[in-house]
Chains A and B, each alone.
Chain A
């Protein structure tokens, strides 16, 4: 109780005198930065995920070949989620004498739950967002169906026994990319009209889907709840598996945001550690005095702890407010990008940020405060009497571990955490050792330089250990900032490539072998580069290494689904530029041996099918066996046709094949597409522009998030540097006063201090460049699947940034010390 009263009283006094302000500022900044970054990652992460979910037109899709029992809909309702129904089946539609096979999608009100359908009133005309779904008695059809039946808006189609009027042309459906390789022209109708068509009966190939969407966390809960209960006939589909392309971008954005959160936390750790050191150090004299006046160890430690708790509470409150304010401002700036119906960010970031900051505070300040307990009272008489050093590494290690756990809770990316934390520990150790060596070396150069540099370098060398600690703090700060800059640049660069102006924007499917030449000619005659055609053969996998695929055990449901579904096989002589061989070898150009097959990496991992396995397929009643020769990684950003299974040349020659192609069509050239579908009504054209728009939307949001979060982290980094300089400010104040008392002009003293910072900054900058280069290489390759290119400019940038930023921080931090009147400082020293 006495300690509490005393702690509160003296804390108030110390607040007034500014004693605890540096530590408090570090905590406030840490909480603010972590909260703001957390809010942003949370919110923008949700925005990105939601946009990516558009490809499902929902957050989750339950699919089945039988009508989906109402119990699932009711269960979703129970979670407060929105639902919509979809029934899809192939049928032939007629318009007068014209007919065409098409895929009918009958939907209920509410569809699509995510994204919007866009329609136009004439073929390849201006599009606009659709309001709801087709009214009963009306249908919306896509351009290829329209071309095939030579229809126009207002015509009446015979669909089974029903007669429905075409009221619009669909230009975009959010879920159009689902399984587009098997897509026939699409027709969208109202669910109400289905019974009247008489098309759904025994033996029809109907697929039913229940679309589910709602609050992010509720969807996740619903997903978890039903996942294990699903009967075999029902398959759950989330957005991740539906669009690798959109998700490659979204996933990287999420990872970058996570990386930024981790980096903010590490920076906060360094800032808090530096200021906690100073906090404890400055208390040493007071503690010795209190002990000489009769304070017990328990009292001293209780007071220190209570004050730490007070710093923590005030820091958390102020920091959360600041972070919340920053988030409000950012949300306002990003308003048009963060969709209006986005759920409010949860309190999680505040809790997480506060928790992390408190753990850091305790972890990094406690050892120094425990050290205070052992301050000998003799220090009042002999100033060199010091307490024994505590085992900082042990306690700091524990607190870092606790923080890592906290981060794992929110980020959930073990790989990222392991790389970052171990990388940072390794770099900190290296920084310390090399820092000490550099400090020693620098000290030796001082006889050959002017007075300012001599004083500066002498200072660096004299404070050997402290200087090395500063190099570590500066260095770590710079390392993560450089790392972030590098990764951010690489990431944006990679995305820009995705958004390549020349990226294909049209997919042509269902091209017959004898149509290939004619199709190429249609484009060539209009001076448009003809597309590259990829063959496609429909097959079913029957057995793996002689064992029936039905009898095999699979690690996941997805794997089981994959081997049992209809396979799209292709063959190629050369490896596509968007593919990379991970294991095994691609066949030589002139290969003509027994059939070989190359499998996509994730499918290989999921199904457990690997090199040397023999796959048997059934293709149009014939058997084919092929051996796995290689495992490939596919760059889904490329917008090229890609296949999970690619066979060697000749392997599929005897089987019926169709071709698919991708190409770029500029808006002015779109008439070529109309000519194409008129000349070849069975070919489907899929307009990728809409999907590209989708991806572009995701990437724009992600880039913006990356930039915003980057600047926040930058601020935290500068705070670290400031804290590092602040930690030596008392000594500096006294020294500069003394030098000035000895007759040194202010300018000389100032130059000396700047020389010291420049030397420290350069040392830290070089070391940080090395650290960031290595870490960036690991992060780029392991986490972002981006190729890493060595960048020599990094070293120049690192060193320059080191000198400039450290000198600037030093200037602002040390200015007061140098400007204060020597007499005040020297007087104050004898307080």
Chain B
């Protein structure tokens, strides 16, 4: 594992990350020369206006996409050196996701959705483990419901349960409250921070909700694809 400036162990490092895409008007830079380290157990908010490159950064950090230049190391592994299956294996071992639009599998009920990553990771007893975490997010009585039968807040709880089910080293959350009303959003975030604290997972939270960002240990601000600030939040 590499060390960051503060000397703590970095679980996630972005090194001179850049991403360009081709568009009808020529090459478009979405992310330019972004470098930072994130230590184990840290909670980091990535903020910035629409089009700042937040979701692109998240995709690169999670190995869902590859940078044009620079690289990402996750748990000491350079993601750029792996093929797609290699990156998938890293995700199966160390990464969890919570998405803005939940991304539950419509044909699976709540319990089965939570079992999915456990089954993919060949967990010995996926049903018991999934049931345990479903109880922790307060859906014990609704585990047999299908996504279409759940409210937005409930869907996000299922998504959170699914993300934490494998006890990932890093949890990526992409605007997790974006589709929820303020009150539900706040409850959901309480739940997420609580689980995060309990399992000492590193949390990377993409949001443009300043209040939410301030609940994290650290805020990385992007604008126009550039890293404009990287600051710790006063306790």
Contacts and interface: CB of A to CB of B under 8 A. Distances in A.
B101 A291 contact: no
A295 B92 contact: yes
Given A380-B99, A830-B101, A294 B152 contact: no
Contacts of B148: 824, 827-828, 831
Contacts of A292: 62, 64, 91, 97
Interface of B: 55, 58-59, 62, 64-65, 84-85, 88-93, 95, 97, 99, 101-109, 112, 116-117, 119-122, 146-148, 152, 155, 162, 174, 179
Given A293-B120, A294-B117, A19 B97 contact: no
A296 B162 CA distance: 18
Given A382-B55, A830-B179, A294 B103 contact: no
Given A377-B88, A381-B174, A830-B179, A295 B120 contact: yes
Contacts of A382: 55, 59
Given A378-B59, A381-B55, A294 B95 contact: yes
Nearest to A16: B107
A302 to B, nearest CB: 12
A717 B17 CA distance: 55
Which of B97, B99, B103, B152 lies at the interface centre, i.e. has the most chain A CB atoms within 10 A of its CB?
B103
Nearest to B62: A292
Contacts of B179: 830
B107 A17 contact: yes
Nearest to B107: A17
A831 B117 contact: no
B91 to A, nearest CB: 4
Given A289-B105, A380-B99, A17 B146 contact: yes
A563 B227 CA distance: 99
Contacts of B120: 6, 290, 293-295, 299
B85 A297 contact: yes
Contact of A14 (B93, B99, B107, B117): B107
5 contacts: A293-B97, A294-B91, A297-B84, A377-B84, A830-B152
Contacts of A5: 119
B165 to A, nearest CB: 10
Contacts of B106: 17, 828, 831
A293 B92 contact: yes
A285 B88 CA distance: 16
Given A294-B93, A377-B64, A378-B59, A13 B88 contact: no
A830 B90 CA distance: 27
B55 A294 contact: no
Interface in A286-317: 286, 289-299
A33 B106 CA distance: 32
A2 interface: yes
A404 to B, nearest CB: 36
A286 B147 CA distance: 14
A770 B85 CA distance: 50
B156 to A, nearest CB: 10
B147 to A, nearest CB: 4
A198 to B, nearest CB: 90
Given A290-B116, A381-B64, 7 more contacts: A17-B107, A292-B62, A293-B91, A377-B88, A380-B99, A381-B99, A828-B106
A831 B102 contact: yes
Contact of B88 (A14, A295, A828, A831): A295
A3 to B, nearest CB: 10
A17 to B, nearest CB: 4
A477 interface: no
Contacts of B112: 13
A679 B65 CA distance: 104
A292 to B, nearest CB: 6
Nearest to B66: A378
B53 to A, nearest CB: 12
B117 A293 contact: yes
A376 interface: yes
Contacts of A10: 107-108
A642 B179 CA distance: 86
Given A17-B107, A290-B116, A830-B101, A381 B93 contact: no
A135 to B, nearest CB: 77
B91 A19 contact: no
Nearest to A20: B107
Q: 4 tightest CB-CB pairs across the interface, nearest first?
A: A294-B92, A831-B147, A17-B107, A296-B85
Contacts of A291: 84, 88
Contacts of B55: 381-382
B65 A376 contact: yes
Nearest to A2: B122
A377 B120 CA distance: 15
A14 B112 CA distance: 12
Contacts of A381: 55, 58-59, 64, 99, 174
Nearest to A827: B148
Contacts of A830: 101-102, 152, 155, 179
Contacts of A376: 64-65
Given A293-B120, A380-B97, A381-B174, A286 B155 contact: no
Interface in A120-175: none
A298 B92 CA distance: 14
B103 A380 contact: yes
Which of A2, A292, A297, A298 lies at the interface centre, i.e. has the most chain B CB atoms within 10 A of its CB?
A292
A9 B104 CA distance: 17
B107 A294 contact: no
A10 B93 CA distance: 22
A294 B55 CA distance: 19
Contact of A13 (B59, B93, B102, B107): B107
B107 A19 contact: yes
Given A294-B88, A297-B85, A828 B147 contact: yes
Which of A2, A6, A824, A830 lies at the interface centre, i.e. has the most chain B CB atoms within 10 A of its CB?
A830
Contacts of A293: 91-92, 97, 116-117, 120, 162
Interface in A804-831: 824, 827-828, 830-831
Contacts of B122: 2
Contacts of A297: 84-85, 88
Given A289-B105, A292-B64, A831 B85 contact: no
Nearest to B122: A2
Nearest to A299: B120
Nearest to A385: B65
Nearest to B119: A6
Contacts of B91: 292-294
A265 to B, nearest CB: 31
Nearest to B58: A381
Given A290-B116, A381-B64, A831-B147, A298 B58 contact: no
A377 B64 CA distance: 6
A4 to B, nearest CB: 12
A380 B64 contact: yes
Contacts of B99: 380-381
A378 B97 contact: no
B223 to A, nearest CB: 20
Nearest to B121: A294
B30 to A, nearest CB: 11
A5 B112 CA distance: 14
Contacts of A290: 116, 120
A296 B174 CA distance: 23
Contacts of A827: 148, 152
Contacts of B104: 831
B55 to A, nearest CB: 5
A375 to B, nearest CB: 10
A294 B146 contact: no
A377 B65 CA distance: 8
A663 to B, nearest CB: 75
Which of A5, A6, A14, A295 lies at the interface centre, i.e. has the most chain B CB atoms within 10 A of its CB?
A295
B64 A378 contact: yes
A378 B55 CA distance: 10
Contacts of A824: 148
Nearest to B83: A297
